[in-house]
Amino acid sequence: MKDRTDGTFTTRAVHAGRRDFVERGVHAPPIDLSTTYPTPDLDLAARSFDALASGDAPEDGAFIYQRLFNPTTDRFEQALAELEGAEDAAAFGSGMAAFTAVLLAARSRGNHVVAVRPIYGTADHLLTSGLLGLDVTWTTQDEVATALRPDTALVVIETPGNPTLALVDVAHVVAQAGGVPVLVDATFATPVLLRPLAHGASLVMHSASKFIGGHGDVLAGVVAGSHAMVRDIKHVRAATGGLLHPLGAYLLQRGLPTLPLRVERAQATAELLAQRLAEDPRIRDILYPGLPGQDPRGLIGRQMAGPGSVMSFELASDDLDVMQRFIAALRLVTPAVSLGSTDTLIQPPAVLTHRVVDPAARASTGISGGLLRLSVGLEDFADLWADLDRALDVVPVTARRHTPEMTPAATR
Ligand SMILES: Cc1ncc(COP(=O)(O)O)c(C=O)c1O
């Protein structure tokens, strides 16, 4: 096995999880679909079961049962851990399953979570609903320290935040957390643009259903961090289920070599589209950290390598019927939730992804009823602009632009 840290990120994305291929005589990751594994040596099997059930690695190749361990899923986990600069990673059947396991594992430290809005709607709902019996304090990135309690087990942030693209300063939050682990959902950034552990975070998670999968055909989640923290998360996973299916893991691994190319290409197109939309009188306001004045903390360059390829905007009309007609007029852009796919997707968060969020919380974090989230894909800029430009003709050009109340300073 070669040095795990060799090469640039782009090179490591190609080779992560593949360095034993020559030795094994293969050129693609082997797929192991076994749900159970023979256990002829009962002593070994018992020891390995003990290890796996508490979140440790198997002993001497005794995998026992797929919920406990799968070599194809493990291969993806090791690759992702390498790309995040983490000691280990745990992959799940969805991003929400990963988040749930992180929260359940945190309960051994306390019952209180501090979280900074906005975050993905269902993640917000999971915390707010009390489904897991956790107490949550919502705060801003500048007031994390005052929200802490003796029983605070975890600080949860998402950057860029879904769907307003608000950037959170990871090191600033970590400095306030006073040793309480900080989880960063970096789904929108991917490890190509942001590696939160390098900024002091304890855990990074992704809905791998998005950019990491990249083709809209795998539902998955992954969380990376230290051996000890990932061990606790794997302990929860072994007990509750939720291991990522090996076929999904194979597809995620297949996509890793092209992750930097996909992220950079979509971002280049998004930067052009954001400039066009920002200048267009049919758009009232646009949220995209790559636009002038939209990164007040100077995080792009310092924390994040680029603004990414997701943006949100409001049409210059408060009439939701106009929004519906705009969406219906699009021919290339697909009206659908999710993001980070090869094709460009658009959806109104207040109506769909964030409808499970308390309306007052939505309003105070800039998620207006007319906000549209656009995830830019790999199509050509000219074709995307032609589609948006034509569909925007349904918008009457009367309203003012750049309403300051849309992006409260506290969320930026
Ligand atoms: C930022 C973010 N985190 C977590 C999730 C949840 O992931 P999944 O849909 O894979 O469960 C999503 C889904 O959209 C997301 O956008």
Is it the case that residue 70 has pLDDT exceeding 70?
A: yes
Is it the case that residue 406 has pLDDT exceeding 70?
A: no
Q: What integer best gives the mean pLDDT of the chain?
A: 95
The tens digit of pLDDT for each residue in 78-122 reads 999 999 999 999 999 999 999 999 999 999 999 999 999 999 999
* Token pair in block for residue 339: 């993001």
- The question of whether 297 is a catalytic residue gets the answer no
234 alpha carbon – ligand 1 mean position (Å):
19
Domains of the chain: 262-411 (3.90.1150.10)
Residue tagged active-site, from 18, 117, 195, 210: 210
209 alpha carbon – ligand 1 mean position (Å):
7
Give CA–CA dist 236/388, Å, rounded.
Answer: 45
353 alpha carbon – ligand 1 mean position (Å):
9
Give CA–CA dist 191/212, Å, rounded.
Answer: 9
Ligand 1 neighbours by CB, cut-off 6 Å: 94-96, 120, 123, 158, 162, 185, 187, 207, 209, 219, 221
Is it the case that residue 5 has pLDDT exceeding 80?
A: no
The tens digit of pLDDT for each residue in 352-373 reads 999 999 999 999 999 999 999 9
- The question of whether 2 is a catalytic residue gets the answer no
Is it the case that residue 391 has pLDDT exceeding 60?
A: yes
Read off the pLDDT of each residue in 131-138 and give the average, rounded to a whole number.
97
Nearest CA to ligand 1 atom 15: 120
Q: Quickly state the pLDDT bin for 2 (edges 50, 70, 90).
A: very low
- Residue written as tokens 């105070």? 364
pTM confidence score: 0.95
Q: Quickly state the pLDDT bin for 397 (edges 50, 70, 90).
A: confident
120 alpha carbon – ligand 1 mean position (Å):
6
Is it the case that residue 409 has pLDDT exceeding 90?
A: no
The tens digit of pLDDT for each residue in 293-348 reads 999 999 999 999 999 999 999 999 999 999 999 999 999 999 999 999 999 999 99
- The question of whether 67 is a catalytic residue gets the answer yes
pLDDT reported for residue 405: 43
Is it the case that residue 262 has pLDDT exceeding 70?
A: yes
Percent of the chain with pLDDT over 70: 95
The tens digit of pLDDT for each residue in 266-296 reads 999 999 999 999 999 999 999 999 999 999 9
Dihedrals φ, ψ of 158, to 5°? -135, 130
- The question of whether 65 is a catalytic residue gets the answer no
